[in-house]
Structure formats: structure tokens, C-alpha cells
Structure 1
Amino acid sequence: MSYALQDTATMLRRNLRHAQRYPGLSLGALGMPVVMMLLFGLVFGDTFSAGLGGANGFDYIDFLTPGILLMSIASGTMSPAVAACTDMTEGIVARFRTMAIFRPAFLTGHVLGNVILTIVSLVLVVGFAVLIGFRPTASFGEWLLAGGLLVALTISLTWFAIALGLTSKTPEGASNIVLPISLLLPFLSNTFIPLEAMPSGIRWFAEYQPFTPIIETLRHLLIGTPVDTGTGWLALAWCAAIGIVGYFWAQKSYNKGTVA
């Protein structure tokens, strides 16, 4: 166990150093959610608030922030997918295979490195949200539950993104293959507007995709919005399902040592 922990820590340091040396992807993952928060919260916030019932006390910043927190996690999936694909295609994995290294440490280092960067991004988003008017009503326990849900989602999506990256032939392809996670699903959810304000077809898709119950659970925990019974369990079930599929898929692709 001590060797496994040491090897995992070594791989984690390796990934954090790569993030320092090649900051483009990391800065993009950290900065984009903040830009989205400022854009939709300040530039378009009054328009959205008026259209969605601002006259009745609707606070769009409070509504928006939980969705942007999820977007922070989703946008951070590109970096581990590209990094894992790069390692597989450039031959470093073949060198690792010749060394006495705990085999799961390689992928676990990628996951932990991305979790750390994503947590930094989430803290930045919450900080900027508070500066522009976000006023959560969550208790300490509700903050812990919301934080646990965000970390669980980060781990799950990172494993899934790494699995996608390992199946890509090139790093460029890896950056494209995760776009449905990092861009499409967050926008086609209730991040920016409630479900009832969407056209029927898009509303049906948004209602049954994974991100919507997670955002609704975060809103319930952070600002006390009403939520259907079982939504929180559904959010956890989606996190577990995505994480389990991603973990075993990534391990299988890595152990095969080939790029599909």
C-alpha cells in the first residue's frame, strides 16, 4: 500500500508540474467559467432576470451560479483527456510499463491532478459570484453536501474524459471528443434558464440528461429552491454511473496499451 501511495503521489506531482509548464489548458479551464459567470451574470443578467420573472423577486445570479459551478467541472474535462492521450501516443506509457510502478497510479495521478485544478476553479467561481451578488442561504452542512456532490461529479467526469482520451488517436481528437461533455450538455440543461422556459423538444432532452438533476440538487442545497423527491439520489446515481463506466473503460484501454 505504501508503494501504491508513493507511486500515485509521484504521478500526481508529474501532472501538476505539466500544468505549470503548459498552462494553456489549465488557465482555460480555470478562466472560462469565471468569464461565463461575468458574461451571463453581469452583461446579460438583467435581461435574463426580467424575462424569467425578476419583477417577482427572482434573482438570476443565485439561479445561475450552481449551473456555472457544474460548467467549471465540465470544461475541465478537456485537459485530462488530452494529457492521457498525449502520454499514450508519445510513448511514455511504454517506458512506465518497463518500471516497477503501481499500474493504476498513472491514471489516478491524472484524476487527482484534475480534481485539484477543478476545486481551484470552483473556489474562483464562488468568489466572483459573491462579488457580483450571489447570496447563498446554505447552512454549513448543506455546503458540505454541495461540495461533496461537486467533488463526486469531478471525479466521475474526469475518469470518463480520460477514458475518451485513451480511445483517441491524437491529442487534437481527444480535445474534440470531450466537447459534448464540456460544452453541449451544460448548455442543453437548466444552467441558464428553467426547464419550463424551454421549447418542448429541448426541454425533454434537458430534463432527462445527467446534468439537470445535479444542477437542481445544487440549487436546492445552496439557495433553497424546491426540488422533487429523489432528485438528489438521481444526481448521485448519475455521478456513480458515469464514474464506474469511466473508471473501468479507462483501465481497460490503458491495460490494452493500444489506441483504438
Structure 2
Amino acid sequence: MAFTRATGKHRAPSRLTRRSAHVAGVTALATTGVLGTLASPATAADSGAARTVETGLTQAITLDATLAEQLDAQARAQHQQAAAAARAKAEAAAEAKAKAEKARAKAEAERKAEARAKEIREEKARAARAAERARLNAFHLPVAGSYVTTGYKSGGALWSSGSHSGVDFRAASGSSVVAVGAGTVVEAGWGGAYGNNVVLRMADGTYTQYGHLSSITVSVGQSVTSGQRIGLSGSTGNSTGPHLHFEARTTPEYGSDMDPVAYLRSHGVNV
């Protein structure tokens, strides 16, 4: 039976169609065991396809290697950045620690300096108080720069007891008379033969008397410091001329006298 082709235009089979047909033919031949020369074109075609696949794989491997290198470079850069940040952080921490240590050392130095300054101030204050106590407790001559003109227990008709119960210090009229030491006024006024006189109870419990004063500048009950003026010298009472009569006593009463020069010397006064 004869077959006829329909009339009209006909296009040649496409490359894909031809390749499909060729592959189908090769498959059939392989199945039947016929390879011969017909297999050569198929083998050639397959070799070309393999070359194409191999070329694509090489390109993929090349791309993968480039990407890996880029990733490695990026990782190294990140590592370097992290290391740099760590170093910067460590340096900042070290700098902060150094500053803190410097500030602590400065504060400690200032504290020590202030403590030392406080100690010096306290030492000066103690020294000043000690000096003041020494001044207050120190004894003085009753008339500054004077000397004894009539000694203790000197005899003569001038004294009712027959002897001098004190000592006389040279003093021009109006000379300042001071307390030889700190004490309290127990008598201030007229004292008979002593004229205007002052009697002090001293801090050590003894008594001192100052006679023939022209004027008195303290009153009974008043506390006086060592060297404080208590009156002015004169010639009141039983006196032959301006001078200061000075006595040291164990009581405020006449007759309890003791050597005034020895008394003053025992308190450090150069007489």
C-alpha cells in the first residue's frame, strides 16, 4: 500500500527533533546489539555533550574558588577589625586604669598633705598653748629690770619686828608693778605701815605681797596672770622713799614670811 504526503509546504525537522530521533535510534541499536558504524556519530555526539558538561563544571568550580577566596578575605578583614577593636578596647582600658591610678595617687597625696598640714597646725596650736601656759606659769621680777636694795631679814629700827620681813626692789615713783606669777587678789587697799598694798594668793598656794604703792589697779577676787600690772610703785606708808616692798608668805597674814629671793629663784627668776 502506497502512502502519500499531504500537499503543502514542509519544513525540515528541527535540530532538537533530529537529536531526539538520533538518540532514540542509538538506544534501539544498543538494545539490539548493533553498534557498528552507526554508533560512531552517537559516540561523537555524546563526547561533545560530555565536553560541554565538563566545561560548565570547570566554570562552576572556578566560581566557587573565587567566592571562597572572597569569603576568606572577608573573614580575614573581619578578624583584623575585631583584633584592632580588641586592641583599642584594651588600650582604652589601660589608659582609663592609668588615669584612675593617677587620680587615686593624687588624691592620696592630697590626703597625706592635708593630714600633714593638720598635724602641723595642731603642733603649732599645742606649742602656742604650751608657750601660753609657760608664760602664764612663769614668774617675773615684780619690777622689770630692777634689783634688791635691802635684803631679807636686814635689821634696824625701821621695822617693828626688828628685821626686814621682805626685800626692797629699786623702783622710781610710778614704775609698773606686776604680779610675779598667776594668782588671785585677796587684798587690795591700805595696809598700815605697808601703805597701799596688794596681796595675791598664787597658783601654787603661796602668797605674795606688794607694798608702798602709789596706786592700785586690781580689786579683791580678781584673777591676774603672771606679769600683769597690779599697781604703780610709790612711797606710801612707812617708807623713806619710792621703792617696792615685796614679801613671799605661806599665808596672807603678816608673820608667815619666807625668803622672797629664794622663792623667786625657785620659780626660775634671776634675782
What's the TM-score, normalizing by structure 2?
A: 0.18
**Relative to total residues, which structure has the larger helix share, 1 or 2?**
1
Q: Which has the larger radius of gyration?
A: 2
**Structure with greater proportional strand content:** 2
TM-score scaled by structure 1? 0.19
Higher relative contact order (CA 8 A, sep 6+): 1
